[in-house]
Every structure is written in C-alpha cells, then in structure tokens.
Structure 1
C-alpha cells in the first residue's frame, strides 16, 4: 500500500479535474450556442473550432466578440443553486469545496484548455487569446475562492434537518 499524506487522494483529484473540464466545456458550449443563436449566426457552423481554435478569439470580427463574451460568461455569469451564483465558480464551489484549492483547479483547467488548443490549432500567438484566458482564469479563481469561503463560513445546523429552528419555551422543556 503506497504512503500518502493524510487527505491526499490522487484518484479524487484526477476525478475532480476531469469533472471540472467536462463541466466547463459543456457550459462553454451552451453559452456559445445561445450567443451565436442570438447573434443570428448559423448554428450548424458551431463546432470544435469555437472551443479550441486560437483564431476564434479575436476583436476584429463579430464572431470573435461572441466567443470572448461566451468565455467571460462561462467564468462569471448566470444563476445556479443557492450558495453559488456563477457557473464555473459554482463548479469550483461544488466540486473542489475548498477555497485554498480554487486557484490550483482553475489554473489546471486553463492549462488543460491551452493543451487542447495547441493540439487542435497550434500554439496561440494572438494577444487577445492570452489576455482573455488570463482574465477568465483570474475571475474564475477569485469568484471560486469567494464562494467557497462563503460556503465554509456558513453556520452548521445543530438540530438535524431543521437547522437553526427556534424553539418555543414549551418545546424546550
């Protein structure tokens, strides 16, 4: 049996990374579909190029702006369950659950995205690609840490599933 530090579970970490990547790409794909539909683009032309091509992020044409907006919305916007209002930050809050691990998982997700972009379309040379992805990384990490800290600081219910229910004087006796 291998020796690991207490709390270190490599299988859990790999599964969390895989879950983060899958959820981020699913969410980004949905944003791209919605925004391209609203922009009047041909929805049949949306594909892997929008996700992985470094050329899809550009400020010189409208389609590039749509992709940039989708990336930012993927990092910061939308509504999710009660404690976490931002999708990718919600994914960090839900999957990672620890504020001190959010930067690690956000950076890992973006490094894996860089690797996928390199495999699909070559090394990204456009400054727009780097600027957008670095800003998305920072936003995702900061919001994820904020939401995780907020979740960690929530009161712990002590009286079963009813939580902090107030008892009347007759019920206490």
Structure 2
C-alpha cells in the first residue's frame, strides 16, 4: 500500500513556484543594477570622472591600488545595504534571503565575466563580493525576522510580546475610576455609587 503524502501547507506551492521565483530574481537583479548605476553615476559626477559602463560591469575597475577602485568598492558596499530593502519588500522571508543574495552575486559574476571576456582575477573584486554577500545576507535575515516577529493587530487590539492583548481607545478612558475586586466605585455615567459584594461559597458553587 503506497504511503500517503502529507498535503502541502497553504501557500507553499505559490511561494515555491518557478515562475514567482524567476520573477523575483529578475526584479531583484534589475533593482540591484539600477541602484548601483545611480550611485556610480552620482559618484562619477562628483569626482569629475567620465561616466563609463566599465565602472558598473567591468571587474578591472575594482582595484585596491587606486582611489577609483576603493571608491567603487565603497559604492558597491552601499549598494548592498540598499539591496537589503529590496529583499525585505520583495522576499520578506528570512529563510530565503541567503539563496537570493547568493543568486544576485552569482548573476553579477556571470555578467561581469561576459562583459570583460574573462573571469575576474583581481583578489580585491572577490573580497568585495564576499563582503557584499555576507553583509546582504546578515542584514537581510535580521530585517526579515524583525518583520516576521512584529505583533499582529486585530480590530484595534495589539498583541504584546508576552501574549497579552492591549486595547487602545475610548474604552480605556471610560475604564478610569472603575475598581476591581471588592470595593466602592462610581458608574460609567458618573451618577450614583455601587458596591461590589463578594459571592458566598454557596452561591459560587451554583
């Protein structure tokens, strides 16, 4: 008798569908390059350097013995920080951050190699990619976990970290002046007093 397979959890097929994953990869990669292009163009204009596609796609521009190389390195690190925001908005799942971060850098390796007609041989470029992937993964996981662990509010009630529900609104103002347990207090309308009397043991058992 064949074993019965466990039914997938709700939303599992949609989250793991190849079409959705491919679209997320394309959008993330385009956003990664668009943000890098904006940062590089701005830096080149400020430094008075001619804008060239080599600054974006060539690994030969990233060198540790020139000022331009270090400047581009800082720009790519900053671009990794901005990419964390894209991951948080598009992925929002901490267990998928590592896969998407490595995919972004792998595609960048392929694009850079095709543009430069050779694999990167500069150690500075490889060190920068490792630092960028590590930074993107660690901050991306932290940001997604922070979003996943945020309290969920239903109808004006927010659930706190210890599981208690807090209600904000006019009801809190009306509850001011009420007493709990045995004692005296005033009605909600402010007119008249009432006294809470404890129930006897016999009445409690009824």
Displacement after TM superposition at 1:157 (Å): 1.9
Match among 7, 10, 14 for residue 18 of structure 2? 10
Secondary structure of 1:33's match?
A: helix
Displacement after TM superposition at 1:11 (Å): 0.4
Question: What residue number does 1:156 align with?
Answer: 152
Match among 3, 28, 43 for residue 35 of structure 1? 43
Work out whether residues 25 and 100 of structure 2, in 8 Å CA contact, stay in contact via their aligned partners in 1.
yes
TM-score under structure 2 length normalisation = 0.70
Bigger Cα Rg: 2
CA distance in 1: counterparts of 2:133 and 2:59, whole angstroms: 16
Secondary structure of 1:141's match?
A: helix
Displacement after TM superposition at 1:48 (Å): 2.2
CA distance in 2: counterparts of 1:23 and 1:128, whole angstroms: 24
TM-score under structure 1 length normalisation = 0.82
Displacement after TM superposition at 1:51 (Å): 1.4
Matched, 1:167 2:178: no
Query: Which structure 1 residue ranges, 4+ long, deviate > 4 Å from structure 2?
Result: 162-165, 170-173
Question: What residue number does 1:130 align with?
Answer: 126
CA distance in 2: counterparts of 1:116 and 1:171, whole angstroms: 65
CA distance in 2: counterparts of 1:157 and 1:47, whole angstroms: 50
Displacement after TM superposition at 1:66 (Å): 1.8
Matched, 1:63 2:32: no
Greater shift, 163-172 or 136-145, is seen at 163-172
Residues 100 and 168 from structure 1, CA distance in 2 versus in 1: closer, same or farther, beyond 3 angstroms?
Answer: same
Displacement after TM superposition at 1:115 (Å): 0.3
Could you tell me which runs of 5 or more consecutive residues in structure 1 were left unpaired when the two chains were aligned.
77-86
Work out whether residues 84 and 139 of structure 2, in 8 Å CA contact, stay in contact via their aligned partners in 1.
yes
Aligned length: 154
Answer 1 or 2: which has greater helix percent: 1
Answer 1 or 2: which has greater strand percent: 2
Displacement after TM superposition at 1:47 (Å): 2.9
Work out whether residues 75 and 89 of structure 1, in 8 Å CA contact, stay in contact via their aligned partners in 2.
yes
CA distance in 2: counterparts of 1:136 and 1:38, whole angstroms: 24
Higher relative contact order (CA closer than 8 Å, sequence separation 6+): 1
